[in-house]
Structure formats: structure tokens, C-alpha cells
Structure 1
């Protein structure tokens, strides 16, 4: 769907959500956009980068933003196209919230009036708010990690906790990769447009870069802590496994004694102690229990029961 969101003095902003073939034809025929740029802008798997078509007067910015679906936070690319003096933003269902963010960015940047603002400055003030969402998600991931970490050593470790840690690690990988790519892309954007941007526009670009840098630093620290907690859970699980194997080994040793004793008496070997007495059955049980107790005591003194 193509929506004319707002007309400013210096440009018109069009937002395209879930592009259809009919929308694609409209953009090409009425807006003179190229198929190539449209394809890059709506590709779910497009890499974060700047793409230029000088002949068509088009400059495409592909940048990753937070996407929300099924309680799993990931990142997805959106396309921001500067073409023929106008602005085009491309999103999908999970990233369609960016339109509301661009319209009312809640950040510290001072946006110029609609009569004076440029398309680039409008985008940068919106991107600042989008990048702050990375910080919010990293903070939320840290909160969930602390819940799991608080249970370390106090509760029995479960598969659910390990799966939750794995899920947090996966989300952090998405976030780290996206932040690193966004930083490189904005560095490229600043380098390419530095000669044409006003000072306050450069400041806004730098504000977004700083916000990304801070989020990237937080993400790296959060990932390091999650990895440490995951390793700790793994070490404790290995220790529990070792303890289980030691206990099973002790049981297997102790339980061989009844087999040995009953085997001797079961073969009717002549001259076995108490073999011919009336209470030999109970005596063999007593011998078995005594031997099992002696072996258990020796294993305990050797440290086999120490966890």
C-alpha cells in the first residue's frame, strides 16, 4: 500500500507497506522509481548499505530496525529512498511501526519546522528514536538474563532455563550484527553527504551514530555476561552429570557383591562356610550385606561420595 503521509515544503513523504505488484507498477509509472531500487528496498534479506543510482537521481538507505513478532525480538531491514526530491520509506508488517516513529520521534533532537526541514534531517531525527529501541531491547534482555542468573545455584537447572539463555544469545547476535552494520552504513552516509549537509544535519547524523555506538557497547557487554552465565550453567550441568556417573559407578560396584556371593552358594561348592546349615540362606544374606557395607565404606573413605 502506498500512502502519502505528509507534504513538507521541501519534499513529500510516501510510505509503502507490504508492497504489492500493483504498487510496484505505480511507483515505476507515476513516481519514476527504478525496479532495481524498489527491489532492494523491499527485500527481507537485503544487507545494510547505501545504494546510489546517479542517473535516476536515487539514493537508497537500507538500515536494520527492531522487529516484533511472536514474542521474539529480531531485526529486519527497512528501505529509505531519497528520489527526485521526495522521501520514500518501505516496510513490512513487523516493521510498519516505523511510520509512527518518524511522525512523532520521542528524542532529544530538536527537529526543524515542517516549513524548513529537509528530507535527510527528517530521517535522522526519526532514526534516532528507532536506534534507541535497541537500547530498550538490550535492557529487557539483561532483565531476563538476571532472572535466570538469580536462580543459579538456588534451583535445579532445567532445560527451559537453558533454552531461554540460548534464545537470549540468538537475539543478541541479531542485535550486535545489526548495530555494527548500521554504524558502518551511517559512516558511509556521512562521508558521502558531508559536503552537502548543513552543520545541524551533520550533528543529527552524529547523534544517531553515537546512539548506535552506545547500544553496540551495551550489546557487547550484555552478550559477554550471557555467555558467562551460559558457561556457568554448562559447567554446573557437567558437574551434576559427573556426580550422577560416580553414583551409578558406586551402585554398580556395590550391587555386584550379591551376584558374587549368590553365585558361589548357587554352585553348591563343597566346604563353603555355613553351606550345610539350616540357616545358610539367612547367613548368605548377612555375608552379602556385610561385604556391601565394607565396600561402601571403602568407597566413601576414598571420596567417591563427595560431590
Structure 2
């Protein structure tokens, strides 16, 4: 769907959500956009980058933003196209919220009036708010990690906790990769348009870059902590497994004693002690228990029962 969102003095903003073939045809025939640049803008898997077509007067910015899938947080690209003195934004269902954010960036940056603002400055003031969502998500992931970490000392570790940690690690990988790519793209955008932009526009780009850099630092630290907790969880699990195997080994040694004693008395060999008396059965049990106790004592003295 193509929506004419707002008419500014210096440009018109069109938002394209979940583009259909008819929308594509409209953009090509009525808005004079090229199929190539449209394809880049709506590609779900497009890499973060800048794409220029000087002949067609088109400059495409592909940038990653947070996408929400129920309880899972990932990142998806959106397309921001500057063409023919107009602005086009391209999104899908999971990123369609960007239209509302661009319209109302919560006053995180001072925005010029509709008569004065340029397309670049409009996008940068909106991107600042979009990039702050990375900080919010990293903070939320840290909160979830602390909850899982607090459970280690109070209850038995479960597969669910390990799966939760793995899910957090996966989300952080998406966030780290997107932030790094966004930072590189913003650097390239500033370098390419440095001579064409005013000082306040460059300042707003720098503000977005600083916000991305801060989010990168937070994401790296959060990932390091999550990896440390995951490694500690694995070490504790390995220790418990080793203890279990150790106990099973000790019991297998102790339980070997009854087999040895009963084996001797079951061979019908003459002259075995107490083999011919009526209470011989009970004597063999006593001998077995004494030998098992002796073996257990020797193993205990040698530290086999210490965890």
C-alpha cells in the first residue's frame, strides 16, 4: 500500500507498506522510480548499505530496525529512498511501526518546522528515536538475563533456563550485527553528503551515530555477560554430571562385593568358612555387609564422596 503521509514545504513523504505488484507499477509509472532501486528497498534480506543511482536521481538508504515477533526480538531492514526531491519509506508488517515513530519522535531531537525541514533532517530526527529502541531492547535483555542468573542459586538448573539463555544470545547476535552495520552505513552517508548538508543536519547525523555507538557498547557488554553466564551454567552442569558419574562409579564398586562373596559361596567348594553350618547364610550376609562397609570407608577416606 502506498500512502501519501505528509506534504512538507521542501518534499513530500510517501510510505510504502507490504508493497504489492500494483504498488510497484504505480511507483515506476507515476513516481518514476526504477525497478532496481525498489527491489533493493523492499527486500527482506537486503544488507544495510547506501545505494546510489545518479542518473535516476535516486539515493537509497537501507537500515536495520527492531522488529517484534511476539516474545522474540529481531532486526529487519527498512528502505529509505530520496528521489526526485521526495522521500519514500518502505516497510513490512513487523516494521510498519516506523511510520508512527518518524511522525512523532518523542522530541528526542529538536526538529525544524514543516516549512524549513529537509528530507535528510526529517529522517535523522526519526532515526534517532528508532535507534534508541536498540538501547531499550538491550536493557530488557539484560533484565531477563538477571532473572535467569538469579535462579541459579535458588533452584535446580533446567533445560528451560538454558533455552532462555540461548534465545537471549540469538537476539543479541541480531542486535550486535545490525548496530555494527548501521554504524558503518551512517558513516558512509555522512561522508558522501558532507558537502551538500548544513551544519545542523550533520549534527543530527552525529547524534544518531553516537546513539548507535552507545547501543553497540551496551550490546557488546550484555553479550559478554550472557556468554559468561552461559559458560558458568555449562560448567555447573558438567560438574553435576561428573558428580553423578562419580557416584554411580562408587556404587558399582561397592555393589561388586556381594557378587564376589556370593560367587565364592556358590561354587560348592569344600572347606569354605562357615559353609557347612546351619547359620552360614546369615554369616555370608554379615561378611558381605562388613566388606561393603570397609570398601565404602576406604573410598570415603580417599575423597570419592566429596562433590
TM-score of the superposed pair, with normalisation by structure 1: 0.99
Structure 1, unaligned runs of 5 or more: none
* 1:195 Cα deviation after fit: 0.2
2:22 and 2:278 mapped to 1: Cα distance?
Answer: 100
Secondary structure, in 3 states, of the residue corresponding to 1:109? coil
Partner of 2:111: 111
Worse overlay, 95-104 or 264-273: 264-273
Alignment of 1:160-239 (within 5 A): 160-239=160-239
2:267 and 2:158 mapped to 1: Cα distance?
Answer: 49
Alignment of 1:279-290 (within 5 A): 279-290=279-290
Partner of 1:15: 15
Partner of 1:75: 75
TM-score of the superposed pair, with normalisation by structure 2: 0.99
Question: Does the 8 A contact of 2:53 with 2:59 survive in 1?
Answer: yes
* 1:151 Cα deviation after fit: 1.7
Alignment of 1:49-198 (within 5 A): 49-198=49-198
2:153 and 2:290 mapped to 1: Cα distance?
Answer: 38
Cα deviation, 1:49-80, whole Å, max 9, x if unaligned, reads 00000000000000000000131000000000
* 1:152 Cα deviation after fit: 2.2
1:105 and 1:137 mapped to 2: Cα distance?
Answer: 17
Question: Does the 8 A contact of 1:12 with 1:86 survive in 2?
Answer: yes
Question: Does the 8 A contact of 1:66 with 1:134 survive in 2?
Answer: yes
* 1:4 Cα deviation after fit: 0.5
Cα deviation, 1:31-66, whole Å, max 9, x if unaligned, reads 000000000000010000000000000000000000
Partner of 1:47: 47
2:257 matches 1:257: yes
Question: Does the 8 A contact of 2:108 with 2:129 survive in 1?
Answer: no
Question: Does the 8 A contact of 1:145 with 1:165 survive in 2?
Answer: yes
Structure 2, unaligned runs of 5 or more: none
CA RMSD of aligned residues (A): 0.7
Cα deviation, 1:107-143, whole Å, max 9, x if unaligned, reads 4310000011100000000000000000000000000
Cα deviation, 1:219-256, whole Å, max 9, x if unaligned, reads 00101111111111011111101100110000110011
Partner of 2:37: 37
Q: How many residues end up aligned between the 2 structures?
A: 307
Question: Does the 8 A contact of 1:107 with 1:128 survive in 2?
Answer: no
1:209 and 1:99 mapped to 2: Cα distance?
Answer: 21
Partner of 2:246: 246
